[in-house]
Amino acid sequence: MLPSSLTALIAGALAAVASAKVVKYNWDVTWVNAAPDGFSRPVIGVNNQWPCPEIRATEGDTIRVKMNNKLGNQTASIHFHGINQISTNWMDGPSFATQCPVPPGESITYEFVADTAGTYWWHSHNMGQYPDGFRGPLIVEDRRDPNRGSYDEERILTISDWHHEQSLKLGKAFLNPGNPLGIPPRADSILLNDGRGADYDFKAGKKYRFRIINMSASASAMIDFDSLDMEVIMNDAAHVKKQKVDQLRITPAQRYDVVVKAKGNRREKRNFGFLVSLDTNRDHTQPGARWQLNQTGYLVMDPSKEKKPVVVDAWNPVDDSKFKPRNNAKILPAPDKTLVFTFEHCADEHGILRHCVNGSPFVNPKVPTLYTAATTGEHNTNETVYGPVHPFIVSSGDIVDIVVNNHDVGVHPFHLHGHHFQVLTRPFTGAGDWSGSSDELNKRPPRRDTVSVYGNSHAVLRFEADNPGVYLFHCHIEWHVEMGLSATIIEAPDVLRDIAIPNDHINACKKAGIPFEGNAAGNVDEPLDTTGIEYDPPLEYTGAEWIPTLIPRFRRSRVARLA
445, part of any domain: yes
Give per-residue pLDDT as tens, 360-396.
Answer: 999 999 999 999 999 999 999 999 999 999 999 999 9
462 and 518 in a single domain? The answer is yes
240 and 263 in a single domain? The answer is yes
Distance CA 474, CA 489 (A): 11
Query: Rounded to the nearest 5 degrees, what angle is found at the Cα of 348, between the Cα atoms of 434 and 362?
Result: 55
Distance CA 148, CA 239 (A): 13
8, part of any domain: no
Question: Is the preceding peptide bond at 51 cis, omega within 30 degrees of 0?
Answer: yes
111 and 174 in a single domain? The answer is no
Domain range spanning residue 527? Answer: 337-561
| Cα atoms in the 13 Å half-sphere on the side-chain side of 488 | 29
Give per-residue pLDDT as tens, 135-190.
Answer: 999 999 999 999 999 999 999 999 999 999 999 999 999 999 999 889 999 999 99
Question: What's the gap between Cα 175 and its chain centre?
Answer: 22
What's the pLDDT score for residue 19?
79
What's the pLDDT score for residue 267?
61
* Ranges 7-21, 93-107, 172-186, 204-218: which has the least confidence: 7-21
391, part of any domain: yes
Q: What is the 8-class DSSP label of residue 44? A: E
- pLDDT at residue 555 tops 90: no
Q: Where is the domain boundary, 99, 115, 141?
A: 141
1, part of any domain: no
* Ranges 34-38, 195-199, 239-243, 499-503: which has the least confidence: 195-199
Give per-residue pLDDT as tens, 399-441.
Answer: 999 999 999 999 999 999 999 999 999 999 999 999 998 888 9
- Among the residues of 314-426, which ranges form H helices? 369-375
State the CATH number of the domain containing residue 492: 2.60.40.420
Total of domains in the chain: 3
Confidence of residue 268 (pLDDT cuts 50, 70, 90): low
The rounded mean pLDDT for the chain is 93
Query: Rounded to the nearest 5 degrees, what angle is found at the Cα of 149, between the Cα atoms of 419 and 145?
Result: 25
Q: Is 514 in a helix, a strand, or coil?
A: coil
9, part of any domain: no
374 and 391 in a single domain? The answer is yes
463 and 504 in a single domain? The answer is yes
Q: Where is the domain boundary, 122, 141, 160?
A: 141
356 and 309 in a single domain? The answer is no
What's the pLDDT score for residue 125?
98
99 and 156 in a single domain? The answer is no
5, part of any domain: no
423 and 548 in a single domain? The answer is yes
134 and 158 in a single domain? The answer is no
- pLDDT at residue 477 tops 90: yes
Distance CA 558, CA 536 (A): 7
- pLDDT at residue 336 tops 90: yes
- The phi-psi region of residue 468 (left if phi > 0; otherwise alpha if psi is between -120 and 50; otherwise beta) is beta
152 and 135 in a single domain? The answer is no
Q: Is 85 in contact with 92 (CB distance < 8 Å)?
A: yes
Cα-based torsion angle of the residue sequence 58, 251, 159, 76 in order, rounded to the nearest 10 degrees = -70
Confidence of residue 556 (pLDDT cuts 50, 70, 90): very low
6, part of any domain: no
200 and 301 in a single domain? The answer is yes
What's the pLDDT score for residue 25?
98
The enclosing H or E element of 172 equals: helix 167-174
86, part of any domain: yes
- pLDDT at residue 349 tops 90: no
361 and 504 in a single domain? The answer is yes
Q: Where is the domain boundary, 318, 352, 369?
A: 318
